[in-house]
Chain A
Amino acid sequence: MKISKLVEKIKPSGIREFFDLVIGMKDVISLGVGEPDFVTPWNICESAIFSLEKGYTSYTSNKGLYELRLAISRYLNNKFSLSYSPDRNILVTTGVSEAVDLALRAILNRGDKILVSDPSYVSYDPVSELAGGKVILVKTNESDNFKLTPELIKRHISKGVKAIVLNYPANPTGVSYSRKELLALSKIFIDNDLIVISDEIYDELTYDFPHTPLATLPGMKQRTIYLNGFSKAFAMTGWRVGYACGPEEIISAMTKIHQYTMLCSPIMGQLGAIEALRGSAKSVLEMKREYKRRREFIVSKLNEIGLCCAMPEGTFYVFPSIKKTGMNSADFAKKLLYKEKVAVVPGTAFGSQGEGHIRIAYASSMDNLKEATQRIEHFLKNNA
């Protein structure tokens, strides 16, 4: 059978094999899970059950339920004074995953260049390529905590660079940007007339300073596609609801693709999302407090047992260095799995700059974190 050249060109994830290994093994403590360990707050589940009982099982409008778009609009306005019209500037998507795809396809012409950070969340690179774009990887450095800096971006700007994908707080490193850092970055974006796809799905999980949406900075709203969703903060990964906000022209273009490829996000998810915005602030805060405690614990523990680990500002990931073990990321992860039954994700899964690091997700119970760090300590002692 003949597969499309574009698809054939996408590199298969180098660690598929490792993933299969983990999934086939029993009694593993997994710190490799990229989703909350909490169940969706009950008020959200209960309201979705109620809506199913009432027979809400249909399609919705392509853009998503008006009530949800209105709720999103109000939420952003109250929280960040960020105003988007529910009619013109908001599109409800099937998770941020779909929103990333739509945004890229809406803006990229064949051969347009787009900057993607290395390391970064796994979908940006291949989905950009699928959209016909040419990805320019911006290799970030450990010494900058893997952050994008104005200098770094400037160095990668050339003719034909149309856009950049930004993600903060970031998967896999957990780092985020302060308002000041964002202002410096935004100057570069404006000077070079870049469109920014800003994936802010972890915004609620920012621990050390308030999160600043990129679109709230001067001159940025008209060039930002703001992406957010319900998966992380509200522990709703399986519900598949996210949203994109941006200039009317771009949102219309994204809606055009969405209406043919997805039609709409599942109505149960959308109704759950309405309840999430209406009555879950307390649950979100409770989860955040718990994550924060785990963050302090895991960072301090990892440093104590000899894995050098920076304190990331957000998400539920840490990205410690394993360089001093002499192993590469993949070997480290494989050996740790075999010898101690602890699963982590090799940093290289997120780009070549992730070599020498592993991603540990602390979206796992304190008991698991305690046990897992003990096992890692044991592993380090026996494999140093």
Chain B
Amino acid sequence: MKEILEILEKDARTTPEEIAKMLKKNVSVIKKAIKKYEKEGVIVKYKTVLNTDILKDNVQKVKALIEVRVAPQRGHGFDHIAERIYRFPEVISCYLLSGSYDLLLVVEGRDIQEVSSFVSERLATIDNVNSTVTHFILKRYKADGDILKRIERNNRIAISF
């Protein structure tokens, strides 16, 4: 049934009826499996991949990667401090890493000032946050497996043997 996830991850609009056909299964079986994945939280939600860079009159938002060094807490490890941080809506991704720093955040804001003030006023002031390094993202080429620019493809001839 894992193949359902593979199909939905590629195209969340695929209907249970269509998946049933692709996998030669009963629609009800597929529906049940999807419900189960949703309930267990394996399927978190269904979203749309956007490339807002090419929207006309788009007010560009600013994104930054932020390296954070924190002091882990007894009994909680990194989870507790991580939650303190990722609960902020400005934080759109949060990862715990091995290596020279601990947390990697993706933070989004209206402009550089907004992101900077989030870092200096909210983030750096949390107890246990030892230091931060901010990298502003200049351009997104590929995100979560999707190349964002429309790749010009030479069309196949419309009909051939």
Contacts and interface: CB of A to CB of B under 8 A. Distances in A.
Interface of A: 19, 22-23, 25, 28, 30, 32-35, 37, 39, 121-123, 171-172, 293-294, 296-297, 300-301, 343, 345, 349-350, 366-367, 370
Contact of B22 (A39, A297, A367): A297
A122 B159 contact: no
Interface stretch (B39-47, B94-102, B150-158): B150-158
Interface string B19-43: 0011110000000000000000000
Given A33-B159, A294-B22, 8 more contacts: A23-B159, A33-B156, A121-B161, A123-B161, A293-B3, A293-B23, A343-B158, A343-B159
B48 to A, nearest CB: 15
Nearest to A33: B156
A293 B22 contact: yes
B158 A293 contact: no
B130 to A, nearest CB: 40
Given A35-B156, A366-B11, A296 B21 contact: yes
- Those 4 A-B pairs whose CB atoms lie nearest each other, nearest first: A32-B159, A293-B22, A300-B21, A30-B158
A294 to B, nearest CB: 7
A201 B64 CA distance: 49
A345 B160 CA distance: 8
B7 interface: yes
A28 to B, nearest CB: 6
Interface of B: 3, 7, 11, 14, 18, 21-24, 153, 156-161
Contacts of A25: 158
A22 B11 contact: no
A28 B158 CA distance: 8
Contacts of B18: 297, 366, 370
A297 B3 CA distance: 14
A34 B161 contact: yes
B158 A296 contact: no
A147 B68 CA distance: 65
Contacts of A39: 153
Contacts of A172: 161
A33 B153 CA distance: 15
Nearest to A15: B159
A186 B129 CA distance: 74
A121 B161 CA distance: 7
25 contacts: A19-B159, A23-B159, A25-B158, A30-B159, A33-B156, A33-B158, A33-B160, A34-B160, A35-B156, A37-B156, A39-B153, A293-B3, A293-B7, A294-B22, A296-B22, A300-B21, A300-B24, A301-B21, A343-B158, A345-B159, A345-B161, A366-B11, A366-B14, A366-B18, A370-B18
Contacts of A300: 21, 24
